[in-house]
Structures are given as structure tokens and as C-alpha cells.
Amino acid sequence: MSDKSSKIKALQATGLMRELMGGHFRELDEAARTRDRKIAWCTSVGPAELLRSFGFLVYFPENHGAVLGSSRAAADLIPLANARGYSPDICSYLTSDIGSYLAGRTPLQKAFGMAGVPRPDILVYNTNQCRDVQDWFAFYQREWSVPMVGIDTQRSLGDLTADHMDGLVAQHRALIPVLEQVSGRKFDLDRLKEVVASSYRCTQLWKRVLQLAAHRPSPLTFFDATIQMGPAVVLRGTPEAEQYYPVLIAELEARIAAGEAAVGGEKHRFYWEGMPVWGKLRDHAEHFASLGVCVVASTYCNSWIFEPLGEADPFEGMARSYTELFIVRSEAYKEAYLKRMIDLYAIDGVIYHDAKTCPNNSNCRYGLPKRLSDSTGVPYVTINGDLNDLRLYSEEQTRTQFEALVEQLPGRR
């Protein structure tokens, strides 16, 4: 039932993105060698804006985790961390990354000529996603004797109350003395406002990119977006992120104007819920395209839209942005959110990825898929897999599930 010829259209803007991302990594590598600029490691939805306001270059280990997954380097690296007592059942970004450190090798060396991952002056986490990020950074804290600070965020939140916000804002402010000491700079509120404003503009651009996928046929797939989100993750708050997305948007709008689809002959529109299977991104993209399916949207890529950064107070903006995320929220919130996405993107089917080592971002474990399917009539499948550990992924079962979902859609034979 599948058409084996590739129907995926490459995005031209990607060349510019690679240049900008390369610049970011080379800058980090230079700073790691010369120590002329301070480096902060930050969790991907952590207080990057605050760090940038102190002049830190910001490095995101989760981005490195995704690189290790998509390059399939993770397979050889995870066991090294397992052997050090890090369980195969915990975050495979963590185990891939620590394995990479233990092995002394990273795809960043070949891709950007880096000596290795840039050694930090400080580690800054936010437990909004999971506790694993804190334990991950704690490894490096012990290894390198560098300070570690962070934000401890409550999880499974319904509405954010004033009490939540007060606590979170206070935690953000409490980071300032440590950051002043490590950076050697005084806190500058005006500079923070500038960085937050830049991040907000990036957010608006990224949101525009993703929402263009609501067009039928979509000019963008989820698989494209997992790559295109790079600047929104690692460069937000910098001019480079703001430089990139208008170029991408122009290309996507041109596709729409020309009636060009990301997946030629788009017949069905799917939503991806949960983590990508990084080592199978290309395979999944090709497989869905061969079935005439465009996976148009995902919670994962939406998670770097930070609307509250537009608020007047930058601390309130950061605290709210990094706590109002899907992953931090209650089951009821998640169900309502997914229903909105199904409507917004005219979704025909939903793929839930139950990622073995990422329980916090596997949103299919408490009956949500069935409830949502019953209320919307939109069918779904749940695949068992993992973000990085392909030992936990079954190729044949996954392919069968994808194809069976397509067969089940109305109008199919």
C-alpha cells in the first residue's frame, strides 16, 4: 500500500540554519579553549535568558542528547553509562550524554570541529520536565567541581496560581547572586529585558512556522520541524534566531502560494504526541510520506513557544513560560490541549510515542489516547519505543502500527 519513492521535499533554508548553528558551536568551542567567555549549561526549557543577560554562552545538553540519538551514536554510548550505575530505564539523553563524556567522543567533533562538549563554568537546571535533568547535571558537577543551581518546578499543574508564581519568581531571582559571582558581572535588568524581548520575538516566529502547517497541504512536517527547531532551542535570545526564522517562513509561505506540499500528494494529516524516535527520524519521515501521510504537528515542537515572555516583568515571563508548558501540566490540561491541536491542524490520526526512558513525556499511560479518541472520533496508535535507546524500539511492530492506522481511516479500502 506504500509508495516507495521519496515524496519528501527538502527545505532550502536549512543551509542557513546549519551555518548559524555551526557558529554557535564554534563560539562555544573557542570559549572552552580560551576561557575568555563564561559557559553555562542549561536545560532546554530552563532560564536561558537570565544566563545570557550575564554574558554566558549557553550550551544545552539535551540538544546534544538529540544529536547523539539522531546520529545513532547513542547505541554504543548508553551502555557505558549503564556500567557506571545509571540504569537503562532512566532518561536515555542522560545515559547517551554521560556515555559520550566517558568515551570522549561526540558527533560535534566531526560536525563542527569541536574538541568536545564545552566544559561549563556553571550548571543551571529546571526540573519542569523531569528530575533526570538535575541528576544528569549532578554527574558533571561531581566530575568537574562546578557549581550547580536550578529551579525546582512543581509538576502535573492545572492552573498556575499566584502562589506558584511567587515561588517560581523567587527561585529565579535567587539565582542572581550565584550568577553574578560566576560571571563576574552585576545583574543588569535592562539587559535581561532585551534578551527576553529577543526570545519572545523568536517564539512568535517559531509559532508562525508551526502554524503554517495548518495549511492543507502542509508545507512542513513534524520531522522537518524537529530539525528546524534548533535555533528556537539553542539560539533563542540571540539575533541569529531572529535572523533565521523569517527566511524559513518566507520559504514555507512560498510553498503555500505555489500549492507545494511537504509530502507530495498529502492525503492524511497526523499528529505526533511524545518524543521523537531520534534514530528513526528519517525512516519515519520516509515511511509516512510513502503512505501519503503528512505528520503536520506535534506537542514536542510546540513546546518551544513561550507566549508569556511577552509579559512586562521578565521574571514573571520566564517563570510562567517555563511552567505553563504542556509537560508540566495536569492530565486534564493535556487532554484539552490535544483536542485543540486536533481541531487546529485538522488531524486524521494521532501517534502516541510511549518512550520507555521518558515517562514524563509519554502522555499515553493514563488512558488519555482512548478518552481523546472517544471524544473526537480521531483514531490513534501507541508505539513503544524510546527517544535514543533503539534497543527499546521494534521496527516491524511500529511500521505495522503506522500502516494499520492509515488503513483504518475513513475512505480507505
Residues contributing to the site for another protein (CB under 8 A): 1-2, 373, 379, 381, 384, 392-394, 396-397, 400-401, 403-404, 407-408, 412-413
Return the number of the residue (2 or 154) whose C-beta is nearest another protein.
2
Torsion region of 159: left, alpha or beta (phi above 0 gives left; psi -120 to 50 gives alpha): beta
State the nearest-atom distance from the C-beta of 3 to another protein, in Å: 11
Q: Which is nearer to another protein, 151 or 293 (CB)?
A: 293
Q: What is the Cα 332 distance to its own chain's centre? A: 22
CB of 88 to another protein, least distance (A): 14
Nearer to another protein, 243 or 373 (CB): 373
Residue 161 or 400: the one with the smaller Cβ distance to another protein is 400
- Shortest Å distance, C-beta 400 to another protein: 5
Give the separation between CA 90 and CA 53, rounded to whole angstroms.
Answer: 33
From the CB of 381, what's the least distance to another protein, in Å?
Answer: 8
Residue nearer to another protein on the CB measure, 340 or 413: 413
CA 392 – CA 398 distance, rounded (Å): 12
Q: How far apart are CA 325 and CA 272, in angstroms?
A: 17
The three grid cell numbers given for residue 19, joined into one nine-digit string: 551555518
For residue 291, give the C-alpha cell.
503512505
> Which grid cell is 386?
524510546
Q: Minimum distance from CB of 72 to another protein (Å)?
A: 19
Kindly state the cell numbers that stand for 219.
508545507
Asked, as a colleague might, if the bond just before 217 is cis with ω within 30 of 0, I would say: yes
CA distance 54 to 317: 18
Contact 323, 164 (CB under 8 A): yes
The nearer residue to another protein, 163 or 396, going by C-beta atoms, is: 396
Rounded distance between C-alpha atoms, residue 225 and residue 251, angstroms: 14
C-alpha cell at 86: 545509571
Which lies closer to another protein via its Cβ, residue 4 or residue 186?
A: 4
Minimum distance, C-beta of residue 404 to another protein, in the bound complex (Å): 4
Q: Least distance to another protein from the beta carbon of 372, Å?
A: 13
